[in-house]
Each structure stands twice: as structure tokens, then as C-alpha cells.
A and B are shown apart, each in its own frame.
Chain A
């Protein structure tokens, strides 16, 4: 077990190194001079030179990379060009909004997906199953940037119940969380249905029923436990993806999270900030995946023994 964990940690370290390298190359190998892009073509030669110095672009690439890596080890992500503040400070400032949104979306997703998946799998072929499958199909087919505005139209404009955007009011979080949560629930419930159907067909479920156990006990104690594994993997992937997927949803609702910060960085051509955002989101994504991996190794003895 310890060796497996060590191996996984080493692998993660390697991936993180690769990610940081790729982000560095992304910024430096993309055609076009960043200085020209930032300042425009009519900029004064002196301004260009000072920005070039500020960005450290005058040094050889290897030196730039070395300084960038050394900064990363000290959690120094450089300075934002537009806001003139350390990138790490900006990220930390936006983190609570993003985390809050991610957690509430996850909660909504699980609360929607569990009953839908359970009903669909236990009452296979019934009206409930159709309803649940229809929900999944539509939820997957309607992107966040369509569903979000539709929710605004219904709940904010026609009914007037919830704020349109921003984060000033307590209820502002409801619509973006509902947008993200529903989309996740669509994928999760579909997965839960197929995974439960598979488990319900297994011998141990049949023998549990034959022993006369209450059907609900069979479902919750025997079947659901075993159907949870693929779900946990998916949940981990989704939670990691939430931070990235929230880029669009946060833009729709003007939610001041890290996704919104990423878009602001792109629009203002704030390269150090963009670099920091991409690195940060990927870091969270990789760590959450590592954690999920560890979790199900811990939950399921079969995996612990076999690999």
C-alpha cells in the first residue's frame, strides 16, 4: 500500500512538473511578440523596452524558465500586468467564491442524481426511468451558457425571485450553482443508473434477496455500496472540472471566482495572471484526482489488494 501511494505521488509530481512546463511553453512559444500584443503596434520603443524588462523577456529562454520555476517553488506566480498585484494574492482573493460555488453545485448535483439514478435503475423501463433518462439527455445536451440565461429569464426576469448576477446578495449563488449542478447531475444520474443496473444483476444481490432481506436494505446496503465506485471517480473528475467548467458559468452570472479571473486575464492580455490561473486550476484538478484515486483504494479492499 505504501509503495503504491509513493508511486502515485511521484507520478503526480512528474505530471505537475509537466503541467508547469507546458504552461510556460504555451506563453513563450505562441507566435507573436507578447509585448506588441499587450501594448499595441503604435507603442513607443521605450515603453516596449521597459515592459520587456519587467516581463524578463530580454533574458535567454532557459534563464527565464529557471526563474519561473524558482518562483513557483516559493509560491511566487509573478505580478499581474494590469492590476499591479501579485498573482497569488489575486488567486487567493477569488478562491472563496469559486470554492463556495463548486461545493454548492456538487451538493445540488448529488441530491438530484441520487434519487434520479436510483429510481431509474430500480424501476427500469417505467415512466420514472424515461423521465430520468430524458433529464440526463437534455442536461447533457444543453450547455451552461444556454441553461444559465434561461434560468435568469425564468427566475430573475419573469418571476423576480432571484438576483440576475453578481455576488452581493446571499441568494446570488443559487442560479450559477443550479446551472452547474444540473449539468453535473445529468451525467452522474446516467452513470449511477448503468452502474446500479449492473450490480443489481449480480449473484450476491440475488442471494441477499433470497435470504429475505428487505428490498430497500438490499438496495442501500448491498447494491449501492458497490455501485458507488465508478461514481466516486466521476465525482472527483467533475469536481476538478467544476473549477474549469465554471469559467463560462461564472462569466454568465458575473460571479467573481477564479474562472472569471481567467477570462479577465485573457481579455486584458495579462499573461502572468493567465499563467497563474491555468496553473492553479490544473493543480487543483490534479490534486483532486489524486485524492479520489486514494479514496477508492481506501474504500474498496479489492483495489487495494490487486494493484
Chain B
């Protein structure tokens, strides 16, 4: 039993990813308005019910999954790549460049992360691309700090001295001998970043800074649904459960990865 339980978080995430990708080909009608169904609760006959405009909740939920996952993975990848490159080079070269970069990250870390993303998204104007930009501007800093700290630990290792003595170029050293050693903590961090980003995207969309109607995101569904709490609580409960399930799955997956890869918390 227990060994099967361990697959649960991974499978749950996989299911959401498959649903989000499959939604590209499924015959969804998230913008179809059926006035006779307005605010209907979920039943066997009408799936997950209908929203305040009479649009099917299930279709919008799947569309929202696509938005959430696409934004989260895109921002995670951008932040991971930019942060790692900056952090690794900063530690590798050292000196003034390193000092300067660390002071810059200090300044970014002096903001509560979501506040900076919020202000930036607000200034750039609503839209999903702007959300990606805003979250990436904030997101790279954590990865840069982590990558730098890791490189400082492995920089003086003997296998690197050996590689250098054998005439490996600087880039070969970094790519072949440094990156594999620092990958594990970065992967764990990236996993937790995904759940944080899913919540952040939903939060920005909740505040009206993310996707614009008629497009759908779990955050905007929650925001619209909150106005009909009394008559149609399913409009809040369903996207809320979706959000919770995926964040829970990704966090548990992160815990498992951390134990498996033996990374210190």
C-alpha cells in the first residue's frame, strides 16, 4: 500500500498536465453561453455546473489548468535558466562582478516577492504575457542565490583542479563538472517554485491583472465566483479544490525529490 501511495503526488500532477495538454484538442466550449443554465450546480447531467453567464464550469476549469500550468512552467524555466547562469558565473568569476550582483539580489530580496510582481504587473497592464514577465523578474533571484552558494561549495573540489590541469576550457569545466554537482538543489527549488507560481498566477488573475475575459484562469474564476457565494458556492469550491490539489501534489513531489536527491532543507 505504502509504496503505491508514494506515486500519488506525481500521478496527480501528471493527470493535470495531461488534462491541460489534452484540452487543446478536446471539443471544449468555454465561451458558449447557455442562459437557461445560469449558476446551475454540478449534477450528473451537467458536469461541474455553470457559471454566472451560463458557461460550463468544467470547460473553463480545463482551460484554466492550461493557463496555470503554462504560466508556472514558463516562469519556472525562465527563472531557473537566468538565475542559474547569473549565479554560477557570479560565483565562478568572483570579484567585483560577484559583489555587484549580490548587492542587486539583496535589493530584490528586500521586497516581499509578490508585492514587486504585483506592482510590475500593474504597471505593465493586464495580460498573461505581462504576468510571465513580472513573475520572472522576481523569480530569478532565488535561483541565482542558490546556484551561487552551491558553486562556492564545489569550486575548489579536486576533480575540477584535475579537469583544469588536463586543459579543459572554462565552459567545459562549468558544463561537465560543476553543473551536474549543483543540479539537485536547483531541481528541488524549481519544483517548489512551480507550486508557488501557480498560486501567484492565480493571485494576480484574482486581482484582475492576469488573463482577460473571456479567457479563463483559476484565479479569475475564483474572483468571479466569489460574488455568487450565496447562490452558487460551486463557483468558488471547484476552482479552489483544483488549485489546492495541484499545489498539494507539487509540494509533496518536492518533498519526495528532496529526500530522494538528499538535499538539505
Binding site for B on A (CB under 8 A): 11, 14-16, 18-19, 21-23, 26-27, 30-32, 37, 137-138, 140-143, 145-146, 149-150, 152-153, 157, 194, 240-241, 243-245, 247-248, 251-252, 262-263, 265-267, 271, 274, 278, 281-282, 285-286
Contact = CB atoms under 8 A, between A and B. Distances in A.
23 contacts: A16-B110, A23-B119, A26-B120, A30-B123, A30-B124, A142-B240, A143-B202, A143-B203, A143-B243, A145-B219, A146-B222, A146-B240, A153-B229, A157-B230, A244-B114, A251-B206, A252-B226, A262-B118, A262-B119, A266-B118, A274-B119, A278-B116, A285-B111
Given A32-B125, A244-B114, A22 B107 contact: yes
Contacts of A267: 208
Contacts of A262: 115, 118-119
Chain B interface mostly helix, strand, loop or mixed? helix
* Range of interface residues on B (Cβ < 8 Å): 35 or more
Contacts of B225: 149
Interface string B91-109: 0000000000001101110
Interface of B: 103-104, 106-108, 110-112, 114-116, 118-120, 122-125, 195, 199, 202-203, 206-209, 219, 222-223, 225-226, 229-230, 233, 236-237, 239-240, 243-244, 247-248, 251-252, 265
A186 to B, nearest CB: 11
A146 B119 contact: no
Given A248-B203, A282-B112, A140 B251 contact: yes
A150 B112 contact: no
Given A141-B244, A278-B115, A248 B125 contact: no
Q: Chain A interface secondary structure, helix, strand, loop or mixed?
A: helix
Contact of A15 (B107, B112, B207, B236): B107
A157 B231 CA distance: 10
Contacts of A14: 103, 106
B112 A149 contact: no
Nearest to B218: A146
B236 A266 contact: no
Contact of A244 (B112, B120, B207, B222): B112
